[in-house]
Amino acid sequence: MHKEHILTKNQQIIFDLIDKSPEPLKAYSILFNVQKRGIKAPLQVYRALDKLVEIGKIHKIESRNAFIACHNSSCQVAKATAFSICEICEKVTEISSAGLSKYLANFKDKDGMKYSKYNLEFFGLCKKCNTR
């Protein structure tokens, strides 16, 4: 298992917001939403985001510059992430597939370079968007 991290005030405020959001949130949208809670500057948001990413409570969706809470039991795979992204409605889902993570964890390229981390983003249409 993994260590429980005690979040600081700013980290907790920002994590709560992301965690209850149905969609990935962008840094400045987070900032706007937490200003009433005393977080006034971008840097306060980015610092919390950095930490939350580091400890695996959230992930960054690189192609969208947005952040999503991890729901893979918080998160043994902070260093091995996969997402599906709908190109119409922008719905993002974290993929949790033992087969996929095993395949990628063991993947070695020609040079024999061993990887400590990966991020995979799939794009397509979600079921809803595909059928209309």
Residues binding a second copy (CB under 8 A): 62-63, 84, 87, 93, 95, 97, 100, 103-104, 107, 109-127, 130
Q: Which amino acid is residue 121, in one-letter code?
A: E
**Residue 44 contacts DNA per CB under 7 A:** yes
Question: 88 phi and psi, to 5 degrees?
Answer: -95, -60
Binding pattern for the stretch 54-93 against DNA, x by CB under 7 A and - elsewhere: -----------x----------------------------
Q: In this structure, are residues 94 and 119 in contact, taking their beta carbons and an 8 Å threshold?
A: no
Instruction: Give the residue, chosen from 19, 21, 47, 94, that forms a contact with DNA under the rule CB under 7 A.
Output: 47
Q: In this structure, are residues 12 and 52 in contact, taking their beta carbons and an 8 Å threshold?
A: no
Instruction: Give the residue, chosen from 2, 23, 35, 42, that forms a contact with DNA under the rule CB under 7 A.
Output: 42
Q: In this structure, are residues 130 and 88 in contact, taking their beta carbons and an 8 Å threshold?
A: no
DSSP H or E stretch at residue 69 = strand 66-69
Which positions lie near Zn ion, rule CB under 5 A? 70, 72, 75, 86, 88-89, 91, 126, 129
